[in-house]
Structure 1
Amino acid sequence: MAIDVYKDWLGIPEGDRPPHHYDLLRLVKFEDDEEKIRAHYKKLNSHVRKYASGKYSNESQELLNELAKAMLCLTDPERKREYDESLGREFDEEESTGPLLVEKILVEQGHIDKAQANELVEFAEKRGLSVRDAAVQMRFVNAEVATQALARSQGVPYIDLEETIPDETILDQLPQQVAKRNTILPLFIDDDVLLVACADQPTHDLEDELRLRYQVPSRWVLATPRSISQGIAEYYAAAAQVDDRNQETKADSVDEPVKKSSSKPKPEKKTKPSKPSRGKPELSPEELKEKKQLAFIFCGWAFCGAILIDQFVLKNNVFPQTWPWNFMLATISVPFIAFYLWSGMWKK
């Protein structure tokens, strides 16, 4: 019986499968609080990971991917609006005020005050840093909070790579050195769009390269530079180990033929050659069998011939009415004939 992971693991009542993003993340429909969305995702992600090493490991990985895709959609302002509208939500027409600056977001969230925000901008300009990096260097906030503020400023989702496992088939299509050079980590394909974790806004050249490699457009999610570097090292190494195990499995299935064809043949033990009988070469099994058959025939004819000579020649002309001379030739000659055949024609 197939397991219903939505009901059994997440407690979602029977209904539409797969459920919409809000039901999947156990949220109130049209929830707008990004912190609450991420908190629910983190809790459910941790719960589903408990099944990752059991007999439902495949189902667990698929559900983890669904949870990640739902969270990324609902924390992306533009995609969330489109998704909510597809579920019937109506929005009031509002005048666009443009994206918020990172420092203003940090002030709004209570991490710094206005004076610190001005100091932050000045520090970033003097050192040629982004406001995000400057906030981390000045120790106003940690890298995670600063990157979340940058993601909100740019209108893209933020992702914690410790909670999201990339698709191995996606990693296989991008060399590790390319990922390192650009500080990116491809995650998976969602609705024919490649999701890629990056530390900064990617260049157009990089977007074109990924489009050529994956044959689909890319969508970017922000992550801390350190988490991307750690993810590249961890997940590419894990994918390489899986490939090695698959290759070993394939090699084991043809292990014996490979060994026979590729390994150097062992030298045969030297044996003392048998001395050919009567200077003749040794016979093959087929030739020996034929020799034996001929020996039986010759032996039979010799025995019959000796009896005929005894009865019709020797008995009447040489040894009449004398026993055992009636069978003298048969008695004496047949053993000699048999011995000759055994030691000559019949012998290997």
Structure 2
Amino acid sequence: MAIDVYKDWLGIPEGDRPPHHYDLLRLVKFEDDEEKIRAHYKKLNSHVRKYASGKYSNESQDLLNELAKAMLCLTDPERKREYDESLGREFEEEESTGPLPVEKVLVEQGHIDKAQANELIDFAEKRGLSVRDAAVQMRFVDAEVATQALARSQGVPYIDLEETIPDESILDQLPEQVAKRNTILPLFIDDNVLLVACADQPTHDLEDELRLRYQVPSRWVLATPRSISQGIAEYYAVAAQADDRNQETKADSADESVKKSSSKPKPEKKTKPSKPSRGKPELSPEELKEKKQLAFIFCGWAFCGAILIDQFVLKNNVFPQTWPWNFMLATISVPFIAFYLWSGMWKK
């Protein structure tokens, strides 16, 4: 029986599957407090990770991705508004005031006061830094708070990469050197849109490159530069190890298949009919008959020639005392030799 991870792990009653984002994150419907949304996400993320190393590791990874997608949607003001409207929420028409600068976000959140905000702007301008980096260098806030303020200022979500595991299939499509050079980390695809963690606003060239590689548009979420660098080192190493294991498995399978094939009895080779030798075309019956007659004539003349040689050459001049042995030698052996040499003509 398949496990219901929503009910068994998150305590969500039976109903719509998958549940909407607020039920998934165990939030009150239409919750607007980003801090509370992130706090619930962290708690549930930590709980689901307990099942990552057991027999439900795949289900755990899928649920972790769902939690991350829900959190990113509800912490993105524009996407959250669209999502809430799809659930039936009605908004009053409000005048758009535009994005707040990072220093004003920090003041609004109570991290710095107005005097410190002015100091922050002067420090950033003199040293050619972004306000986020200047706030970290002046030790007004840490990198995480500064990046969250930048995300709020730009109207994009913030993500903690220590709590989000990228999809290995997504990492495989982007070389590690490209990720390092641009300080980005591709995460996963959500609703046919690639989610990419970045430290700063990406360039148009980078957006075009990712669109060509993944064949889908991209959406950006902000993370601290350090967490992106650590994520690249960690998750690309994990993906490389997984590739090595897959290669070893394929090699072992190939070896086993070779062993099995070698143990099978080899089929008997079929004898092929002999082909006629080159340069020796087959003869017609008339030509064969003519060659046989020539062979008989040649053997007869060889026999007669041997007798004449015996009587008039060998007997009187070469072997006068041993005759008729020389006669037997020439008369019998010469025709047989001639017959042997010409016997091939019978087989043509």
Q: TM-score range by the shorter chain?
A: 0.7 to 0.9
Deviation at 1:306, TM superposition (A): 44
Deviation at 1:253, TM superposition (A): 1.3
- State the percentage of identical aligned residues: 96
Using the TM superposition, name which of 290-299 and 6-15 deviates more: 290-299
Deviation at 1:255, TM superposition (A): 2.1
Mapped contact 2:307–2:331 kept (Cα < 8 A) = no
Could you tell me how far apart the structure 1 residues matched to 2:286 and 2:10 are? 76
Deviation at 1:58, TM superposition (A): 0.3
Deviation at 1:197, TM superposition (A): 0.1
User: Who is 2:220 aligned against?
Assistant: 220
- Decide whether aligned partners of structure 1 residues 204 and 302 sit closer, same or farther in structure 2, where only a CA change above 3 A counts: same
Could you tell me how far apart the structure 2 residues matched to 1:13 and 1:305 are? 121
Using the TM superposition, name which of 126-135 and 250-259 deviates more: 250-259
Mapped contact 2:302–2:335 kept (Cα < 8 A) = no
- Decide whether aligned partners of structure 1 residues 263 and 27 sit closer, same or farther in structure 2, where only a CA change above 3 A counts: same
User: Who is 1:254 aligned against?
Assistant: 254
Could you tell me how far apart the structure 2 residues matched to 1:43 and 1:315 are? 127
Could you tell me how far apart the structure 2 residues matched to 1:84 and 1:122 are? 40
Mapped contact 2:27–2:37 kept (Cα < 8 A) = yes
Deviation at 1:146, TM superposition (A): 0.2
Mapped contact 1:151–1:157 kept (Cα < 8 A) = yes
- Decide whether aligned partners of structure 1 residues 256 and 84 sit closer, same or farther in structure 2, where only a CA change above 3 A counts: closer
Q: CA RMSD in A?
A: 11.4
Mapped contact 1:307–1:329 kept (Cα < 8 A) = no
Q: Deviations over 1:57-98 (max 9, x none)?
A: 000000000000000000000000000000000000000000
Q: Secondary structure of the residue that 1:221 maps to in structure 2?
A: strand
Deviation at 1:7, TM superposition (A): 0.4
Could you tell me how far apart the structure 1 residues matched to 2:5 and 2:83 are? 23
Mapped contact 2:157–2:221 kept (Cα < 8 A) = yes
Q: Deviations over 1:309-346 (max 9, x none)?
A: 99999999999999999999999999999999999999
Mapped contact 1:295–1:341 kept (Cα < 8 A) = no
Could you tell me how far apart the structure 2 residues matched to 1:300 and 1:331 are? 11
User: Who is 1:118 aligned against?
Assistant: 118
Q: Deviations over 1:81-127 (max 9, x none)?
A: 00000000000000000001110111111111110000000000000
- Decide whether aligned partners of structure 1 residues 89 and 273 sit closer, same or farther in structure 2, where only a CA change above 3 A counts: closer
- Decide whether aligned partners of structure 1 residues 304 and 177 sit closer, same or farther in structure 2, where only a CA change above 3 A counts: farther
Could you tell me how far apart the structure 1 residues matched to 2:8 and 2:27 are? 17
- Decide whether aligned partners of structure 1 residues 236 and 318 sit closer, same or farther in structure 2, where only a CA change above 3 A counts: closer
- Decide whether aligned partners of structure 1 residues 86 and 277 sit closer, same or farther in structure 2, where only a CA change above 3 A counts: closer
Could you tell me how far apart the structure 2 residues matched to 1:84 and 1:144 are? 27
- Decide whether aligned partners of structure 1 residues 72 and 274 sit closer, same or farther in structure 2, where only a CA change above 3 A counts: closer
Q: Secondary structure of the residue that 2:162 maps to in structure 1?
A: coil
Could you tell me how far apart the structure 1 residues matched to 2:284 and 2:315 are? 44
Using the TM superposition, name which of 139-148 and 272-281 deviates more: 272-281
Mapped contact 2:120–2:131 kept (Cα < 8 A) = yes
Could you tell me how far apart the structure 2 residues matched to 1:206 and 1:224 are? 19
Mapped contact 1:159–1:197 kept (Cα < 8 A) = yes
Q: Secondary structure of the residue that 2:281 maps to in structure 1?
A: coil
Q: Secondary structure of the residue that 1:278 maps to in structure 2?
A: coil
TM-score for the superposition, normalised by structure 1: 0.75
Could you tell me how far apart the structure 2 residues matched to 1:190 and 1:38 are? 19
- Number of aligned positions between the proteins: 348
Q: Which has the larger radius of gyration?
A: 2
User: Who is 1:82 aligned against?
Assistant: 82
Could you tell me how far apart the structure 2 residues matched to 1:218 and 1:74 are? 18
Could you tell me how far apart the structure 2 residues matched to 1:286 and 1:144 are? 106
- Decide whether aligned partners of structure 1 residues 68 and 272 sit closer, same or farther in structure 2, where only a CA change above 3 A counts: closer
Q: Secondary structure of the residue that 2:188 maps to in structure 1?
A: strand
Q: Deviations over 1:167-212 (max 9, x none)?
A: 0000000000000000000000000000000000000000000000
Could you tell me how far apart the structure 2 residues matched to 1:295 and 1:158 are? 105
Mapped contact 1:278–1:344 kept (Cα < 8 A) = no
Mapped contact 2:315–2:323 kept (Cα < 8 A) = no
Could you tell me how far apart the structure 1 residues matched to 2:86 and 2:20 are? 11
Mapped contact 2:185–2:198 kept (Cα < 8 A) = yes
Mapped contact 1:306–1:329 kept (Cα < 8 A) = no
Could you tell me how far apart the structure 2 residues matched to 1:101 and 1:167 are? 33
Runs of 4 or more above 6 Å deviation: 257-348
Could you tell me how far apart the structure 1 residues matched to 2:286 and 2:36 are? 88
Could you tell me how far apart the structure 2 residues matched to 1:163 and 1:307 are? 115
User: Who is 2:36 aligned against?
Assistant: 36
Deviation at 1:254, TM superposition (A): 1.9
Using the TM superposition, name which of 304-313 and 261-270 deviates more: 304-313
Deviation at 1:34, TM superposition (A): 0.2
- Decide whether aligned partners of structure 1 residues 285 and 106 sit closer, same or farther in structure 2, where only a CA change above 3 A counts: farther
Mapped contact 1:309–1:329 kept (Cα < 8 A) = no
Using the TM superposition, name which of 180-189 and 324-333 deviates more: 324-333
Using the TM superposition, name which of 311-320 and 31-40 deviates more: 311-320
Q: Where do residues 48-87 of structure 1 align in structure 2 (5 Å cutoff)?
A: 48-87=48-87
Mapped contact 2:7–2:13 kept (Cα < 8 A) = yes
- Decide whether aligned partners of structure 1 residues 347 and 138 sit closer, same or farther in structure 2, where only a CA change above 3 A counts: farther
Q: Secondary structure of the residue that 2:166 maps to in structure 1?
A: coil
Mapped contact 2:303–2:331 kept (Cα < 8 A) = no
